[in-house]
Amino acid sequence: MASVTNRPIRMCVRLLLTLIGAAAFCGPVPAGATALRINESMCHAVSDFDVSDGEVETLRFACVGSPTYYQQRSLWLRTDLRQMGIARGSVALMVHNSRFDRLAVAFAYADGGVRWQQVHQGDYGLHWRTGGQIVFEAPERPAPLIAVTMRFDRLASHELVRAHILSREQSSMQSAGMAAAVGAALTLLLVSGIYGLSLAIAVRRQYLAWQAAWAAAMLLWGGLWSQVHLGLFPSLAGTVSAQICTFLACLAIALATASAVTALDRSGVSRRWRMLTLGLGLCIGLAGIPLALIRSGDIGRWADLLGLVILGDLAAVAICLVWGWRHGSAEARDFAAAWGLPMAVLAFINLVDVEDGFWGGGSKLVVLVAATWQALWLVAAATRRVTHLRIERDQARVAEAQAQELARRDPLTGLPNRRGFIESVTPLLDRAQSDQLPAALFVIDIDRFKSINDVYGHDAGDVVLCRIARRIARWEGPICTVARLGGEEFGLLAIGMEGIALDRFAENIRRKIAACDHSEILGERVVTASVGVAEVRPACDFQRLYKIADDALYEAKRAGRNQVVLQRHAGAGPAPDVPDRQSKFSRPRRPVDI
């Protein structure tokens, strides 16, 4: 069972390792790509909205300082490609999606020609690419390309602008690689989320439900950030998607914190510390609401402040996990392994700027890969734990069944004991009553068994009982069940047998028992048995049958032992004091084996 369960997990882990390898292969910056930054390779200018795109040459661009008061105006960013050593026409500008109303791009050529391309909120057209990128390809012209100008209307923050100049071939390769990496990550998040939710419902563990909710939030965030949703909902292009992504990112951190904290309920971690950690996660989730709505102001400062709170939340979760681990919590070990990579990634991207790396995906792609790792690891750990619990449960059920079976069996002879006999005769009697069949109970008692124990010892007596039990067990069948009722007394119940056949069967039992060979332990001594038989038509309850058979056995003992006494009664009414009919015999004229 465990191997079957772990097979899909191993496949998912292999896919994740392939994804991580692809992200590592991407490298920090694509080969041949040039990052564009304000005051390094881009100059800036600010204008009102009524300035047309064609008036770009009338603007005064500054190459030092930071642009101001542009959130409700137009921000112009210009790059001179001649100073950068790029003078080819077959280039592409790749811009990371950000919060703006409109983006217009001008490609200027040495012969004075200018070609404009634009996108605006709600419509990226054919310029959008998977991985949160917008691509503008410079038209092919005889004249060399000398400059690229970008105009942002109502840009939320210039610090959010990430742009690269690269060749068309590199742009196509990067877009294809990004699509493959993002697609693999989102697929794994979807699978782990669905599986985690089903697992949470099956085992009823709260932290697994929080984990499934976190996977769903990361799946939505990854889909919106990577712009995969634009294939179905192109009207969500731009600011709306960016705002939702901000909220989902904060919500995902809150859900992940809740998952870790609730998993440590029984780990020995202080409740006060767990509540503090949960409070930090809740603050981050709530902070995502106003942060997502900000369109102006210093977004970078608020982002930096939120980054500090996130680092504090990660530290608090790490302390909880270490605390729980030291107290032997298996959940803490699982979460520590799962959170290790995401914690390191979040801490790293809050301390180091990696936005220009990883094929333009930057920190977003790294976070998506780390989230996929966390989701798969926790699902695998939960599956392994559930599998072990299921195995232990099955083993407990087997042990319980064996214990119940032992409780129904006589430990010496292996036959059912009185309890097991009653449980087995009940369905037979019910069947006989429903089909109006007769039922016969045989009570067999070994004659003078106490003297065997006294003369030959209890070990010899046990051997005699076992041999007789093996003989009686041969009559076990669909319409007959046997048992050791206690001491030297055995029981046998048969349905559907009456008249002369029953007489012969009873005598055959007596003869077969007397024919058992005990010469190895008893010498020439013959062991006989007395048999009391109760026949009732139609069948009645076991207590009434047993009373009649016990009375018949008493008659057989009083008549000199080694006898069969059979009493027949009608099924209705209580057992009478005087039997309807009693037959007593010691040797039939023609014994018949049945």
Mind listing the pLDDT tens digit for each residue in 243-295? 888 899 899 889 988 888 888 766 677 788 888 888 999 999 998 888 888 76
First vs last C-alpha separation in the chain: 47
pLDDT tens per residue across span 558-572: 999 999 999 988 654
- Give the 3-state secondary structure of residue 128: strand
Instruction: Give the residue from 69, 331, 337, 35 showing the smallest Cα distance to 210.
Output: 331
Give 513 or 383, the one with higher predicted confidence.
Answer: 513
- pLDDT tens, 115-141? 999 998 888 888 888 877 889 999 888
Q: Is 488 a catalytic residue?
A: yes
Q: How far apart are CA 469 and CA 529, in angstroms?
A: 12
pLDDT band at 359 (very low <50, low <70, confident <90, very high): low
Edge-to-edge strands, sheet with 91-96:
34-36, 163-167, 91-96, 133-137, 128-129
Check residue 579 and give its pLDDT: 43
Please tell me whether residue 537 adopts helix, strand or coil conformation.
Answer: strand
Determine phi and psi for 377, rounding to 5 degrees: -65, -45
3 state SS of 68: coil
Q: What CA–CA distance (Å, rounded) separates 334 from 321?
A: 9
Cα atoms in the 13 Å half-sphere on the side-chain side of 43: 14
Residue 507, sorted as left (phi over 0), alpha (psi -120 to 50) or beta, turns out to be alpha
Residue 446: exposure state from Cβ atoms within 10 A (0-12, 13-18, ≥19): buried
Q: Answer whether residue 40 shows pLDDT above 60.
A: yes
463-506 tens-digit pLDDT: 999 999 999 999 998 889 999 998 999 999 999 888 899 999 99
- Residue 114 is encoded by which pair of tokens? 């200018």
Catalytic residue among 137, 331, 355, 488: 488
pLDDT tens, position by position, 54-99 = 888 889 999 888 898 888 899 999 998 887 766 555 788 988 877 8
Q: How far apart are CA 1 and CA 430, in angstroms?
A: 40
What is the rounded CA–CA span in Å between residue 498 and residue 388? Answer: 55
pTM value is 0.58
Q: How confident is the model at residue 460 (pLDDT cuts 50, 70, 90)?
A: very high
Residues 466, 412: contact at Cβ < 8 Å? yes
- The Cα–Cα gap between 572 and 574 comes to 7
- Residue 185 one-letter amino acid: A
The answer to whether residue 9 scores a pLDDT higher than 80 is: no
CB distance 317 to 260 below 8 Å: yes
Q: What is the CA radius of gyration of the chain?
A: 44
- CA-nearest of 218, 237, 235 to 227 is 237
Fill in the amino acid letter for 484. Answer: R
Tell me the helices (H) and strands (E) count for the chain, helix number first.
14, 16
Range with the poorest average pLDDT among 198-202, 410-414, 514-518: 198-202
